[in-house]
Structure 1
Amino acid sequence: MTTNTNDVDTRQSAFDETSIELDSVTIQHNDAPNECAMFPRDASDIELMTNWIAAYDDGFVRLESMR
């Protein structure tokens, strides 16, 4: 039986070609949890309307606690 290793290489190449650099901004609210908005660094104004992720204070953990 032979194993085809091309599938793994193809998937890795496809992943590398679709890498996106993200930028972020922290939005501080007086009456709500702080919010971190993450978005593609090179997104146009139109793309920014739909291509973003929001995370709130309770969505974060200290780095030291995950080690």
Structure 2
Amino acid sequence: MDSLEALVTHIQGFSSSFNDLSHLHSLLKQSEDSLRYQANRLAPVLDQLDPSKYSLGYLFILLNKKW
């Protein structure tokens, strides 16, 4: 993923159907190293995502965020 803004856009854009979620899951899995590298910058991203609508992306961010 090029940027955290792109991450939010992908999460919001690919959360509406099963096929979209499958694609989003693949994108997020490919971006895990990048997410871990940017872990200290992920907290504001959570504020942009409603966990009831974007649960897959929200969970990936939570799992990669450093507390």
Q: Establish whether TM, by shorter chain, passes 0.5.
A: no
Please tell me the TM-score bracket, short chain as reference: under 0.3
Whose strand proportion is higher, 1 or 2? 1
Q: Normalised by the size of structure 1, how large is the TM-score?
A: 0.26
Relative contact order, higher structure (CA 8 A, sep 6+): 2
Whose helix proportion is higher, 1 or 2? 2
Q: Specify the structure having the higher radius of gyration (Cα).
A: 1
Q: Normalised by the size of structure 2, how large is the TM-score?
A: 0.26
